[in-house]
Structure 1
Amino acid sequence: MSNVIDRLWYGQSRPLSVLAPLAWLYRTISESKRRKAWQAGAENLPVPVVVVGNITVGGTGKSPLTARLVDCMRQEGWQPVILSRGYGGKSDRYPLLVQEGTPAGVCGDEPLMLSLATGCPVVVDPQRLRGARWALEQGLGDVLICDDGLQHYSLPRDIELAVFDAQRGIGNGAILPVGPLRESVDRLNSVDFVILNGAQFPSSGERLDEFAGTEHANIHAMTLRPASLVNLNSGESRAPEALNGKPVRGVAGIGNPGRFFETLRQLGAHVQEQAFPDHHRFRPEDLASGAGEWLVMTAKDAVKCRGFSPDNAWVLTVDACLSEPFEQRFLERLSESAVQLQSQMTERSNHG
């Protein structure tokens, strides 16, 4: 499936150009929803809201970036709460606070992964604004970070980050279904930061100059660094380099499985690829492997395989690496937002 998408959307040509009328309709509806949401002028929440998202379809590295931003904020004394739609999960009640024992089928794979990886509160609600208000009512934290919510315009936001796979970029530059774009590239003019996953860090360590023909004051590189190999059953942890020279069956049900398989190869593994659709619900038979093979999967997939994974199943964890100038600027922007919100609240109180 990934190869088909690469051919249809991520080359220079547009083989689906016959669907241009649908792309025009998609863009018209999307822009109308955004315009109506901004005109409605949803009242700001009393704490800063950070939205991490993308304008392309498929995996770009949003969740590792979210986890890293959580770490950065905590180091500065903030108490972050992660908001998520909970795609792939179905609960009989919302808002839902993710617990260690919450099944991925209830809360979604990414919320459970982020909860286990960060240890911070993760609130799932398809209506993100309702989830945000509930999180504040419960006193869960003093800053909200929304994983994958760039197009969820009913949620007010103070900082927006748009994440891209640096290799894929914007593909053929067309709107769905002709190309991979959910919104036009012009949308980048209104975000605070553009993050390129897999881009080369400039020698100065600071920002990049432009992306996809768009100049922006804050375009920054990000890389995903393999952090550890953890056995799903025993909990044993090894260095990622343990895969060097080993026969590996790589299993991935993510938006861009090719990137994961390439990471395994860079670690020296001899990889047999097994790709599944994004958010795939794994079954025991999906985890079959040959004698002597290491079965290696992503953290996002691993949370759905707890309880039936074989003894040779390992999860490769990754850390998002960002430049110090970006992290400093992000924290400055966060503090500025908090001051602005406090000023607005004081002004409303004085006029109340």
Structure 2
Amino acid sequence: MAAFIEAMWYQSALKGKTRIAYYLLWPLLWPLSQLFGVLSRRKRNQYTTGKKMAYRAPLPVVIVGNITAGGNGKTPVVVWLVEQLLAQGLKPGVVSRGYGGKAPHYPYFVESDTNTDIAGDEPVLIRRRTGVPVAVAPARSDAVKLLLEHDVDIIITDDGLQHYALARDIELVVIDGQRRFGNQHLLPLGPLRESCQRLNQVDFLICNGGKAHTNEAAMHLAPSELINIKTGARCAVTSLTSVVAMAGIGHPPRFFATLNTLGVKPVVCQPFADHQPFTHQTLLELAQQGQHLVMTEKDAVKCYSFAEDNWWYLPVDAVISEPQASVIIKRIIEVKEKYGSPSA
């Protein structure tokens, strides 16, 4: 089913029975897509016209989101923003919906040892990678209010472009530079959460991979050394032989392509659904098809409690082109200065 949806949304490999199924489903999906658009626009208009009141935090709020369903590199951008702002002497905190987690209560403060079953993959990754305060809640304003108790002076949200109940100062949209916007239809006929016209209203567009357009900041993900999940040891990617690769992210082929670019030809490439939980037995059986199991950092945060000696992950860092990167940080600092200090 996932492969069919991918083909339908991005018009790839629509052949034979897949192509027939696509055209049979079109009369059903098109009106649903139109209805989704009506409801989406109505929801946004309720907040932009003041019919519903959005929560305005006493600190600047920066949204890192997208207009398409699925992964496109938002979390690496959040990590990049956090690291850049820390270097400027600011104290950022991160909020997230915590998708895939079931916390005992909301809002929930993510500790360094919080399990992904509780907080979700991305919040745990961000907390472990950056060390900054992270809070999750379906109502992101609740997560923001919790972070106000933890000495932060700026809020970054991982996703949430369409969460209009939270007022924001700056919006960054991350675009998958390879797949772009697919067939440019709204869900469920296409991958769009909002129409492409929404891009004209955001502050910055960041193109992850592919060829950036003139109004977009070019970005790529730069991998570093492999890190052993169990021991923390590091090694060069090409030093491992007979690699089994796995990825439970929004677009697994991107990870497999990265390994190929680095000169690694896995004996097996196993995609999983985004946010899919793993069991020790499932991954153990997968790893036995080679000598080493290599995964994404997002997958690794779900495996710390049961990782084997030959399980590794490949961390990546967002690299955003200049001068756009500096313009983004300068703009955020300017907004922060208008708010003054938290006690002001």
TM-score by length of 2: 0.90
Are residues 1:21 and 2:21 paired? no
Once the two structures are superposed, residues 250-304 of structure 1 have per-residue CA deviations (whole angstroms, 9 ceiling, x without a partner) of 1111110010111111122222111111100001122122365210011111111
Q: What is the RMSD computed on CA atoms of the aligned residues?
A: 2.0
Map of 1:63 onto structure 2: 75
Q: Counterparts of 1:254 and 1:64 in 2: how far apart (Å)? A: 13
Are residues 1:229 and 2:223 paired? no
Map of 2:297 onto structure 1: 299
Q: Counterparts of 1:339 and 1:234 in 2: how far apart (Å)? A: 42
Q: Counterparts of 1:2 and 1:222 in 2: how far apart (Å)? A: 27
SS in 1 for 2:224: strand
Map of 2:18 onto structure 1: none
Once the two structures are superposed, residues 60-97 of structure 1 have per-residue CA deviations (whole angstroms, 9 ceiling, x without a partner) of 00001100011111111110001011001111122211
Aligned partner of 1:48: which letter?
P
Are residues 1:286 and 2:282 paired? yes
Specify which of 168, 173, 176 is matched with residue 184 of structure 2.
Answer: 173
What count of residue pairs does the alignment treat as equivalent? 328
Once the two structures are superposed, residues 157-193 of structure 1 have per-residue CA deviations (whole angstroms, 9 ceiling, x without a partner) of 0010111110000001111111110100001011101
SS in 2 for 1:153: coil
SS in 1 for 2:312: strand
Specify which of 244, 252, 258 is matched with residue 249 of structure 1.
Answer: 244
Aligned partner of 1:103: which letter?
N
For structure 1, the residue ranges without an aligned partner over 5 or more in a row are 202-207, 210-215, 347-352
Once the two structures are superposed, residues 182-206 of structure 1 have per-residue CA deviations (whole angstroms, 9 ceiling, x without a partner) of 10000101110111101347xxxxx
Q: Counterparts of 1:43 and 1:313 in 2: how far apart (Å)? A: 43
Map of 1:157 onto structure 2: 168
Specify which of 47, 50, 57 is matched with residue 62 of structure 2.
Answer: 50
Matches of residues 25-174 of structure 1 in structure 2 within 5 Å? 25-38=35-48, 39=50, 40-42=52-54, 44-136=56-148, 138-174=149-185
User: How much has 1:103 moved relative to structure 2?
Assistant: 1.1
Q: Counterparts of 2:204 and 2:83 in 1: how far apart (Å)? A: 18
Does the 8 Å CA contact 2:54/2:164 hold for their aligned counterparts? no
Once the two structures are superposed, residues 306-350 of structure 1 have per-residue CA deviations (whole angstroms, 9 ceiling, x without a partner) of 12222211011001101231221112211232244459x99xxxx
Q: Label 1:43 to 1:176 Cα distance change in 2 as closer, same or farther (>3 A).
A: closer
Does the 8 Å CA contact 1:84/1:146 hold for their aligned counterparts? yes
Matches of residues 182-221 of structure 1 in structure 2 within 5 Å? 182-200=193-211, 208-209=213-214, 216=215, 219-221=216-218
Q: Which of structure 1's runs of 4+ aligned residues deviate more than 4 A?
A: 12-16
Does the 8 Å CA contact 2:112/2:131 hold for their aligned counterparts? no
Map of 1:205 onto structure 2: none
Q: Counterparts of 1:21 and 1:30 in 2: how far apart (Å)? A: 14
Q: Counterparts of 2:183 and 2:321 in 1: how far apart (Å)? A: 29
Once the two structures are superposed, residues 88-126 of structure 1 have per-residue CA deviations (whole angstroms, 9 ceiling, x without a partner) of 111112221111221110111110011011111111111
Q: Counterparts of 1:5 and 1:61 in 2: how far apart (Å)? A: 20
SS in 2 for 1:270: coil
Map of 1:321 onto structure 2: 319
Q: Counterparts of 1:91 and 1:290 in 2: how far apart (Å)? A: 33
Does the 8 Å CA contact 1:2/1:256 hold for their aligned counterparts? no
